[in-house]
Amino acid sequence: MTKKGFIFDLDGVIVDTAKYHFLAWQNLANSLGISFTEEQNEQLKGVSRVRSLEKILEWGNKTISEEEFTRLMTDKNEEYLKYISKMDDSEILPDVVRVLDTIIKKDQMIALGSASKNARVILDKVALRDKFHAIVDGTNVTKAKPDPEVFLIGAKELNIAPEHCIVFEDSVAGIQAANAANMISIGIGEAKILHEADYVFKDFTEMNDDFLNNLLTNQNA
């Protein structure tokens, strides 16, 4: 049987770090006199740190110097890392470990494909790093999702052809990136939002072992 590569996004798939991004961005936006809502935070999911700050400044109709931009990015990340430092394995989303272990037991390959430059720190905090054969994150890519770069590098590092890879993603841009990479795309979240995905599950508790086994045996995948 052909080996498959399973590529997981981090924020929104393995852990919910969006709530910490929200607190840190909100603090920063408020310090600039810009309001920042949870709805706006939704639009930053899967978006890089630089692009996130650009968007917040656009929403607040604010222009700042390059120096201040760099300083704000550093401040935001420092605050975000304070929340991350308190994380432990209780923050792993439901049934993620079951799915990872099922894939490992079947002797298949696993990679991380995240936009976050903090991905390795987060995987260490929740004690999941050992389960990954490859980690591709914001420090390894030049093009953000929906560009397929992050997933194509993941496939290459696993030494598996893209058409034999399966991506788990919670953001629209991430699903588009997986589709552009010619991989099977599995949305984790709302079917209405992730309608471009090949399959959508509300969360991993809804994904049974039969579904995973079918992915392994499906020769077209």
Residues that bind ligand B16 (CB under 6 A): 9-12, 21, 44-49, 52, 77, 114-118, 138
Which residues, including other chains, have CB under 8 Å from residue 66's CB and lie 6 or more apart? none
Sign of the dihedral defined by the CA atoms of residues 14, 156, 220, 198, in that order: positive
What is the rounded distance in angstroms from the CA atom of residue 126 to the CA atom of residue 103? 19
Q: Which window, 45-53, 144-152, 157-165, 206-214, contacts Mg ion (CB under 5 A)?
A: 45-53
Residue 9 or 215 with smaller CB distance to ligand B16: 9
How near is the Cβ of 12 to Mg ion at its closest, in Å? Answer: 4
136-195 residues in contact with Mg ion (CB under 5 A) are: 170-171
How near is the Cβ of 145 to Mg ion at its closest, in Å? Answer: 9
How near is the Cβ of 218 to ligand B16 at its closest, in Å? Answer: 26
How near is the Cβ of 215 to ligand B16 at its closest, in Å? Answer: 21
State the binding partner of 49 from Mg ion, ligand B16, none, CB within 5 to 8 A by kind.
Answer: ligand B16
Q: Which two tokens stand for residue 157?
A: 């590092």
Sign of the dihedral defined by the CA atoms of residues 122, 126, 129, 135, in that order: negative
Size of the site for Mg ion (CB under 5 A): 6
Cβ 138 vs Cβ 103: under 8 Å: no
Active site residue 203: no
Residue 208 gets which letter from DSSP? -
C-alpha to C-alpha distances, 119 to 11, 106, 128, nearest whole angstrom? 9, 25, 11
Residue 50 or 209 with smaller CB distance to ligand B16: 50
Residue 74 or 218 with smaller CB distance to ligand B16: 74
DSSP letters of 10-51? Answer: SBTTTB-THHHHHHHHHHHHHHTT----HHHHHTTTT--HHH
Sign of the dihedral defined by the CA atoms of residues 24, 27, 28, 34, in that order: positive
Residue 9 or 149 with smaller CB distance to Mg ion: 9
Pick one of 4, 5, 6, 11: the residue that binds Mg ion (CB under 5 A): 11
Residue 139 or 205 with smaller CB distance to ligand B16: 139
Cβ 118 vs Cβ 148: under 8 Å: no
Pick one of 5, 7, 12, 34: the residue that binds Mg ion (CB under 5 A): 12
State the binding partner of 115 from ligand B16, Mg ion, none, CB within 5 to 8 A by kind.
Answer: ligand B16
Cβ 9 vs Cβ 96: under 8 Å: no
Can you give the binding site for Mg ion, defined by CB under 5 A?
9, 11-12, 46, 170-171
The residues assigned a catalytic role are 9, 11
